[in-house]
C-alpha cells in the first residue's frame, strides 16, 4: 500500500462535526453519531455521510447515547481491526438496549473498509447491526436506511465508485454553512499497485479518479464556505488521471495548477503518493505554485532492494534517492515524510541496516513506522520466514529513535524563522490558538480567537516535542496569498 490516507495510522475514534448542509426534510430531527477510525479519507467519508443524511432529517451529535443512528466508519489496515470493531459493537449493544428500555430506537451501521472486507459476517457475529455499507456505497445511505426501517438487514458492498463520485458532484452545487479553515477533498480512490502487505486493493478496489469538473466544483464550494486550505486525498493520489471537459486526461500536477486559481483557496496539499507516480509535472508544481505547501509524504517502506521487491513496490532504493534529489532541486525547503515497515518476511539484519541507511541519507522531517502485521488475504501473510515479534520490536525501537532525532532537528531548524501560519482552532489553554505551519507542524501561540481562519506571519520562538510555539508579527493584515515561508527581522515581534 502506498497511501498515507488509507495507511497505517489509526486515529482516535471521534464523532464528526455537524453536517454543513442544513436542508432538512420535515421537522422531526433525528440524531446521527459517526465514529471514525483510520485515515484522512475516512474522515472525509464520514463528513460526506452526515451531508448525505442531513436532508433526511439527521443532525450530527457527539453523544452516542443521544443518537437514533450510530455508524462506525472503519479502517482495515491495522492488525486486528475487525476484532476492535466487534468489541466496539459490544459496547454499542448495551447503549441500544438501554435506549430500548426507555422506548427509543437506535439503528446501527458499520461502514468503511472492515464493512467491505467482512460483509455479511458482521451481521452474523453482531446481530445488533442493521446496516453494513462499503466505502463506495455510502451515498446510498438514505435508501438503505429506508430498507432498515422496513425491517430488513442490509449489506451493501458493491464497487459502484462512479455513482458515488457523481453524487458528490451533484451535492457540490448546494450552498453550505461556514466550514473550518482546512478541509479534505477526495480526488482518487483505490490502488492498482498490489503491494504484498496491503489490503487496500481488496477493500477500496482499482484506481479511479474523479473528473476535473467534479473536483473544481467541490473546491470552489469549500472556498466559498471559508476553507483556506485543501488537502487532496487518494489511496494513491499522485496516480490521479481525471477527465476534463474537453476529454483530455489531467495528472495531479495540472489539477493542482487549476485549483491554485480558485479565489480564497490559499493553500494546497495532497496525500499520499507512490514514488513510481511522482512525474515531472507534479515535481515542477512544487517549484511553481506558491500555494502548494512545502511538505511531501512519500512512503518508501524499506531501504532494502530485496525487501522492496518482495513487497512488490516496483522501485529500487537508488531510484528513490534520485527522485528525492529531483524533488529537493525543485523545492529546496520541502519537508519530507515517509512510511516504514520493519520485520517484513525474510528481513535480515542487513536489510534493516539498509533501511536505516536510507533514512540517514534522506533526512526526514517526520515519518510513520510500524511492525509488519499479517493481513489475511494478502500475499505477505503466507510468506515464509516471518520475523519473530521480539526482533520486530527491537528494530522498530531503533528506527523510531532515528526518525525522532531527525524530526527534532528539523523542528529546531525552524526556530527564529518567520513563516505564514493558518490559524485553525482554539488551543487547550485560555487565550491560545493553534495553527499549521507550511511544513504541517502544529504551531501554538497566544492570540485573539477572531484570527481563527486567517493566515498570519508568525515567528517561531520555541520548539516542543511535536509542536512549534510562535509570536505574531506586528502590523500585518490577513494574507490572501501567503506563498512560501519568509524570513524577516525579529524586531517586529509583538
Question: 144-176: per-residue pLDDT in tens?
Answer: 998 998 888 988 877 555 555 665 555 544 545
Q: Distance between CA 100 and CA 361 in Å, rounded?
A: 60
Q: Identify the residue with better confidence: 42 or 6.
A: 42
Pairing of β 468-472 and β 455-463: antiparallel
- Taking alpha carbons only, the member of 269, 283, 272 closest to residue 436 is 269
Domains of the chain: 30-158 (3.40.50.12160), 163-412 (3.80.30.20), 418-492 (2.40.50)
Q: Distance between CA 111 and CA 140 in Å, rounded?
A: 12
Task: Please determine, for residue 5, whether its predicted confidence score (pLDDT) is greater than 50.
Answer: no
Q: Is 119 left (phi over 0), alpha (psi -120 to 50) or beta?
A: left
Task: Please determine, for residue 7, whether its predicted confidence score (pLDDT) is greater than 70.
Answer: no
Taking all residues of the chain, what is their mean pLDDT, rounded to a whole number?
86
Task: Please determine, for residue 8, whether its predicted confidence score (pLDDT) is greater than 50.
Answer: no
Is 75 assigned to a binding site? yes
Nearest-10 Cα torsion for 365, 444, 183, 174: -170
What's the confidence (pLDDT) of residue 16?
A: 42
**Residues found in the chain:** 494
Is 113 assigned to a binding site? yes
Q: Identify the residue with better confidence: 307 or 163.
A: 307
Over range 203-218, report the average pLDDT.
90
Rounded (to 5) percent helix, strand, coil in the chain: 35, 20, 40
Q: Residues of 121-134 as b/e, b for ≥16 C-beta within 10 angstroms?
A: ebbeebebbbbbbb
Work out the percent of the chain whose per-residue pLDDT is above 90.
Answer: 65
4-8, 15-19, 60-64, 385-389 — most confident range: 385-389
> How far lies 228's CA from each of 6, 421, 436, 473, in Å?
24, 11, 12, 20
Q: Would you call the peptide bond into 272 cis, given omega within 30 degrees of 0 as the criterion?
A: yes
If pLDDT is split at 50, 70 and 90, which confidence band does 20 have? very low
What's the confidence (pLDDT) of residue 333?
A: 96
Q: Identify the residue with better confidence: 36 or 439.
A: 439
pLDDT tens per residue, range 45-58: 888 888 889 888 89
- How many CB atoms lie under 10 A from the CB of residue 109? 25
Q: Which residues pair with 132 in a beta bridge?
A: 110, 155
pLDDT tens per residue, range 257-302: 999 999 999 999 999 999 999 999 999 999 999 999 999 999 999 9
Cβ atoms of residues 311 and 302 within 8 Å? yes
What's the confidence (pLDDT) of residue 26?
A: 43
Instruction: Kindly report the pTM of this predicted structure.
Output: 0.77
Backbone angles phi, psi at 148, to 5 degrees: -60, -45
What's the confidence (pLDDT) of residue 205?
A: 81
What's the confidence (pLDDT) of residue 50?
A: 86
Backbone angles phi, psi at 354, to 5 degrees: -65, -35
If pLDDT is split at 50, 70 and 90, which confidence band does 116 have? confident
- Taking alpha carbons only, the member of 149, 117, 146 closest to residue 133 is 117
Backbone angles phi, psi at 110, to 5 degrees: -120, 125
Is 419 assigned to a binding site? no
**Could you tell me the three cell numbers for 175?**
450552498
Of the listed ranges 178-182, 241-245, 413-417, 451-455, the one predicted with least confidence:
178-182
Q: Distance between CA 14 and CA 62 in Å, rounded?
A: 8
What's the confidence (pLDDT) of residue 75?
A: 79
Burial bucket for residue 224 (CB in 10 Å: 0-12, 13-18, 19+): middle
H or E stretch covering 436: strand 432-436
Is 195 assigned to a binding site? yes
CA 437 to chain centroid? 17
Nearest-10 Cα torsion for 400, 404, 405, 411: 160
Amino acid at each position: 500500500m502506498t497511501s498515507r490516507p488509507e495507511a497505517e495510522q489509526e486515529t482516535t475514534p471521534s464523532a464528526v462535526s455537524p453536517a454543513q448542509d442544513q436542508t432538512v426534510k420535515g421537522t422531526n430531527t433525528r440524531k446521527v453519531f459517526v465514529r471514525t477510525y483510520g485515515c484522512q479519507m475516512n474522515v472525509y467519508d464520514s463528513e460526506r455521510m452526515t451531508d448525505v443524511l442531513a436532508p433526511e432529517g439527521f443532525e450530527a451529535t457527539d453523544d452516542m447515547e443521544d443518537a437514533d443512528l450510530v455508524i462506525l466508519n472503519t479502517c482495515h489496515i491495522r492488525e486486528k481491526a475487525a476484532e476492535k470493531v466487534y468489541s466496539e459493537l459490544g459496547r454499542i449493544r448495551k447503549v441500544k438496549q438501554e435506549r430500548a428500555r426507555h422506548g427509543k430506537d437506535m439503528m446501527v451501521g458499520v461502514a468503511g473498509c472492515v464493512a467491505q472486507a467482512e460483509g455479511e459476517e458482521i451481521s452474523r457475529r453482531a446481530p445488533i447491526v442493521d446496516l453494513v455499507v462499503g466505502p463506495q456505497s455510502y451515498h446510498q445511505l438514505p435508501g438503505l436506511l429506508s430498507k432498515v426501517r422496513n425491517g430488513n438487514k442490509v449489506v451493501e458492498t458493491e464497487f459502484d465508485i462512479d455513482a458515488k463520485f457523481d453524487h458528490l458532484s451533484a451535492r457540490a452545487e448546494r450552498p453550505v454553512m461556514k466550514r473550518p479553515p482546512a478541509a479534505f477533498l477526495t480526488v482518487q480512490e483505490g490502488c492498482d499497485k498490489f503491494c504484498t502487505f496491503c489490503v487496500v486493493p481488496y477493500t477500496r478496489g482499482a484506481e479511479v479518479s474523479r473528473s476535473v469538473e467534479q473536483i473544481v466544483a467541490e473546491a470552489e464550494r469549500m472556498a466559498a464556505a471559508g476553507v483556506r486550505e485543501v488537502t487532496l486525498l487518494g489511496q494513491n493520489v499522485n496516480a490521479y488521471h481525471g477527465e476534463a471537459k474537453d476529454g483530455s486526461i489531467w495528472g495531479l500536477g495540472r489539477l493542482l495548477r487549476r485549483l491554485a486559481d480558485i479565489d480564497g483557496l490559499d493553500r494546497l496539499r495532497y496525500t499520499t503518493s507512490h514514488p513510481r507516480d511522482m512525474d515531472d509535472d507534479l515535481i515542477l508544481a512544487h517549484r511553481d505554485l506558491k500555494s502548494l505547501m512545502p511538505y511531501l509524504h512519500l512512503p518508501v517502506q524499506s531501504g532494502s532492494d530485496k525487501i522492496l521487491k518482495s513487497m512488490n513496490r516496483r522501485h529500487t532504493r537508488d531510484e528513490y534517492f534520485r527522485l528525492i534529489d529531483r524533488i529537493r532541486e525543485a523545492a529546496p525547503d520541502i519537508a519530507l515524510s515517509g512510511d516504514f515497515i520493519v520485520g517484513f518476511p525474510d528481513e535480515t539484519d542487513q536489510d534493516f541496516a539498509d533501511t536505516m541507511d536510507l533514512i540517514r541519507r534522506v533526512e526526514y522531517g517526520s515519518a510513520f513506522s510500524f511492525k509488519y502485521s499479517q493481513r489475511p488475504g494478502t500475499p505477505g501473510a503466507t510468506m515464509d520466514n516471518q520475523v519473530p515479534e521480539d526482533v520486530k520490536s527491537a528494530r522498530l525501537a531503533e528506527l523510531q529513535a532515528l526518525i525522532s532525532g531527525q524530526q527534532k532537528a528539523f523542528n529546531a531548524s525552524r526556530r527564529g524563522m518567520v513563516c505564514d501560519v493558518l490559524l485553525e482552532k482554539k488551543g487547550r489553554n485560555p487565550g491560545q490558538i493553534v495553527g499549521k505551519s507550511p511544513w504541517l507542524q502544529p504551531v501554538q501561540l497566544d492570540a485573539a480567537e477572531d484570527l481563527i481562519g486567517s493566515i498570519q506571519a508568525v515567528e517561531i520562538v520555541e520548539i516542543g516535542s511535536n509542536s512549534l510555539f510562535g509570536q505574531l508579527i506586528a502590523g500585518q493584515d490577513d494574507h490572501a496569498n501567503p506563498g512560501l515561508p519568509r524570513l524577516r527581522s525579529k524586531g517586529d515581534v509583538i
